[in-house]
């Protein structure tokens, strides 16, 4: 149930980000929307406030001083760098290309898990990852016009790498803290560097359209605060390499949400790619894990 909640909320974030930035038909940011950095700050300030209120109400314990460097690094990579790079990348990178690049995150997670967590995938497990990646590629191609990469594609690829590193750091942190605690610490730590965008946020908040602001607040409470807690709850209970393979279902769900929220009707190739991605995930989950 936690994984299902994560997939639904994170899939909705793609449409939410576009709504918050008020992306125009030509691909630019609307004058009544938020910039990539300002959106990240408002989103995670909202998430931080929500988690802080809950932490105060429940008297959440503070982290040990010796754990602060690891928590700070996790927040910097998984919150600050990941979301700023992803937001800036989505401004210039075609949506299909972005979804394909970010889908490299489970591959990087599997590789880093083998190096640092001694997790092992079977040959069928790796085959399932490749099959799911092929499904995502079809979804990316279904956008029409092929895949067009820009220099911003490097930012998307950077997001995939730091997302994998965040999973490894979180896995280690969750040995000492429960999901709600570690998620709160990481989000608070990751929000602090984003305050570099505060002057721009103050200006944009005054002129932003209410739907854009509501979209970002939604992103902060649901795909940020709640989804990250659910993700770490699941991460504490299963191998990172297996959990990350579920992310291949995100483009499938995102296509459906974009259909409902933004009126973007999925193409036949999108549906076919979604079916292939689902088969790949099933293969990883049933035949992919090798006991260590």
**pLDDT by residue, tens only, the chain of 292 residues:** 999 999 889 888 877 888 898 877 666 777 899 999 999 999 999 999 999 999 999 999 999 999 999 999 999 999 999 999 988 887 776 655 666 677 778 888 888 888 888 877 788 887 888 888 888 777 767 655 555 566 777 888 899 899 999 999 999 999 999 999 999 999 999 999 999 999 999 999 999 999 999 999 999 999 999 999 999 999 999 988 889 888 888 777 877 777 777 676 777 877 787 788 788 888 877 776 665 5
| Residue 150: per-residue pLDDT | 63
Residue 162 neighbours by CB under 8 Å, 6+ apart? 77, 78, 81, 82, 85
| Residue 145: per-residue pLDDT | 55
| Residue 216: per-residue pLDDT | 96
CA distance 181 to 174: 9
CA distance 266 to 252: 10
Give the pTM: 0.84
Query: 3-class SS at 289?
Result: strand
Beta strands in 99-186 (DSSP E): 120-121
The DSSP code for 119 is -
DSSP 233-279: HHHTTS-HHHHHHGGGGHHHHHHHHHHHHH--PPPHHHHHHHHHHHH
Q: Where are the domains of the chain?
A: 2-117+148-238
- Pick left, alpha or beta for residue 239 (phi over 0 → left; psi -120 to 50 → alpha; otherwise beta): beta
| Residue 91: per-residue pLDDT | 75
| Residue 174: per-residue pLDDT | 96
CA distance 161 to 78: 10
| Residue 95: per-residue pLDDT | 57
**Cβ-based burial of 204 (10 A; exposed 0-12, middle 13-18, buried ≥19):** buried
CA distance 279 to 180: 32
Query: 3-class SS at 120?
Result: strand
Do 245 and 288 touch, CB atoms closer than 8 A?
yes
| Residue 269: per-residue pLDDT | 78
């Amino acid at each position: 149930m936690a994984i299902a909640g994560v997939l639904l909320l994170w899939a909705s974030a793609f449409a939410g980000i576009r709504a918050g930035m008020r992306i125009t038909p030509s691909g630019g940011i609307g004058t009544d929307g938020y910039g990539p950095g300002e959106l990240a700050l408002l989103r995670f300030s909202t998430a931080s406030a929500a988690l802080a209120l809950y932490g105060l109400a429940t008297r959440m314990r503070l982290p040990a001083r010796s754990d602060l460097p690891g928590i700070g690094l996790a927040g910097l990579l998984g919150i600050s760098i990941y979301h700023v790079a992803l937001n800036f990348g989505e401004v210039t990178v075609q949506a299909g290309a972005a979804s394909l690049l970010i889908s490299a995150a489970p591959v990087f997670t599997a590789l880093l898990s083998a190096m640092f967590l001694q997790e092992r995938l079977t040959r069928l497990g790796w085959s399932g990852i490749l099959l799911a990646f092929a499904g995502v590629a079809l979804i990316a191609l279904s956008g029409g016009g092929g895949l067009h990469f820009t220099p911003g594609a490097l930012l998307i690829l950077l997001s995939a790498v730091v997302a994998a590193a965040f999973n490894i750091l979180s896995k280690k942190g969750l040995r000492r803290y429960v999901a709600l605690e570690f998620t709160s610490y990481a989000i608070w730590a990751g929000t602090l560097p984003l305050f570099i965008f505060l002057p721009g946020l103050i200006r944009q908040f005054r002129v932003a359209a209410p739907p854009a602001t509501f979209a970002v607040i939604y992103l902060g409470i649901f795909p940020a605060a709640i989804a990250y807690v659910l993700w770490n709850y699941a991460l504490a209970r299963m191998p990172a390499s297996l959990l990350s393979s579920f992310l291949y279902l995100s483009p499938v769900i995102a296509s459906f949400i974009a259909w409902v929220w933004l009126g973007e009707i999925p193409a036949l190739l999108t549906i076919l790619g979604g079916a292939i991605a689902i088969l790949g995930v099933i293969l990883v989950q049933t035949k992919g894990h090798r006991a260590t």
